[in-house]
Amino acid sequence: MNPKADTQPADAAGGGVSVSPVSPGVGGAYEPEVSPTVPPAPAWPGGTSDRVTRILGVSTLVTAALTAWLGLVVTPPDKVQGQLVRLIYVHPAVATMCYAGFGLCALASLAYLWPRTRSRRWDRLAAASGEVGVVFCVLTLVTGSIWGRPTWGVWWTWDPRLTITALLCAVFIGYLALRRTGGDPDALAKRSAIVAVVCVLLVPVDHEATTWWASLHQTSTLFRANPLIHGEQLYTMLLSFVAFGLGFAWLVLHRYRVEVLEDRYSEEGFDAAISERRAEGGVLTAANRASDGVAL
């Protein structure tokens, strides 16, 4: 069918493990060559099927299912809000995970900027948690919007809490865009870390927005001396924090693993490219010698 597939058995066979950045179509006689100096795969994190990941994933599923059952079936509807109150088992937990993501991103960035603790690991953690934080920030805005429409009558209003959350989202989207610019990884890590540390200053402002300004958004339900909800509603809400927390950790772990793989890819790709150039050089030298021999 594809004549190229026949002429390139090496690529077809090694397609799954090829680490070369050169596409198989370029240069008919190219065979991926991995130099012997390629570093071994890091012990941690292992594959997606390692024990920690599995336990995290399974417990996320179990607690999420339990939260859904308690939240949708067991707990009663609210006197004022009716069925809408069930969003309290999603929205606050999602928003907290958004803060957790940005907070973790900033802490890891600080650890990277501090010369004594500087390590690629912190940069990877910052990348992973920043990205997961943005996902949860968007989810916060979406679930809040869904809640706002029936209770406040609008999808969106220029309330301090809402506006600052939107700004927070925009600021960290900028952070992710900066992370994608490429170039020297260490310089980029430093620049990104500075942006993360500066941007996270918005998080406390966002959190206190409901108390500092006259906000349409309600203040905290849970974190006060006398929580505003009781009994099974309280337990379901607490369980939702556990479920989303586990899900958050699971996502960060997966995203961290991708960062490790990307680092390995660029390192090994570089090594492969060098050994390829060397091989080409070897061929050229041999050809030169041959032609020299003819001339002589």
Partner 1 sequence: MLGMLLARRRWNALWRDALLVSSKDLRIEFRSRVTTTQVAPYAVLVLVLFGFAFDQDQNLLTKAAAGLFWVAVLLSSLLAVQRSYAIEATDGARDSLRLSGLDPAGIFLGKTLAVVAELLILEVLLGFGVVVLFGIQLHDPALLVVTCLAASVGLAAAGILYGMIAAGLRVRETLLPLLILPVVAPVLLGATQAWMAALGTAGGGTDGWRWLSLLVSFTVIYIAAGSLAFSILVEES
User: Which positions lie near partner 1, rule CB under 8 A?
Assistant: 113, 167, 170-171, 173-174, 177-178, 181-184, 186-187, 190-191, 194-195, 197-199, 201
Alpha-carbon distance 167 to 164, whole Å? 5
Alpha-carbon distance 216 to 275, whole Å? 63
DSSP helix/strand/coil, 82 = strand
Alpha-carbon distance 55 to 49, whole Å? 10
144 contacts 115 by C-beta, under 8 angstroms: no
Q: Which helix (H) or strand (E) holds 6?
A: helix 3-7
Please report how close the Cβ of residue 267 comes to partner 1 at its closest, in angstroms: 20
Q: Judged by CB, which is closer to partner 1: 120, or 254? A: 120
Please report how close the Cβ of residue 92 comes to partner 1 at its closest, in angstroms: 24
Q: Judged by CB, which is closer to partner 1: 125, or 168? A: 168
Residue 110 token pair: 């600080």
Cis peptide upstream of residue 92 (ω within 30 degrees of 0): no
Please report how close the Cβ of residue 19 comes to partner 1 at its closest, in angstroms: 25
Q: Judged by CB, which is closer to partner 1: 29, or 177? A: 177
Crossing angle of the two packed helices 91-113 and 185-199, in degrees rounded to 10: 130
End-to-end alpha-carbon separation of the chain, Å? 47
CA atoms within 13 A on the CB side of 225: 0
22 contacts 280 by C-beta, under 8 angstroms: no
Q: Judged by CB, which is closer to partner 1: 10, or 110? A: 110
Please report how close the Cβ of residue 161 comes to partner 1 at its closest, in angstroms: 14
Q: Judged by CB, which is closer to partner 1: 186, or 232? A: 186
283 contacts 147 by C-beta, under 8 angstroms: no
Please report how close the Cβ of residue 172 comes to partner 1 at its closest, in angstroms: 9
- Listed in sequence order, the residues at least 6 apart from 195 whose beta carbon sits closer than 8 Å to its beta carbon are 174, 175, 178
Please report how close the Cβ of residue 75 comes to partner 1 at its closest, in angstroms: 38
- Residue located via tokens 């929580």: 227
Q: Judged by CB, which is closer to partner 1: 47, or 182? A: 182
Please report how close the Cβ of residue 191 comes to partner 1 at its closest, in angstroms: 5
Q: Judged by CB, which is closer to partner 1: 56, or 141? A: 141
Q: Judged by CB, which is closer to partner 1: 66, or 178? A: 178
Please report how close the Cβ of residue 171 comes to partner 1 at its closest, in angstroms: 5
Residue 88 token pair: 């309290």
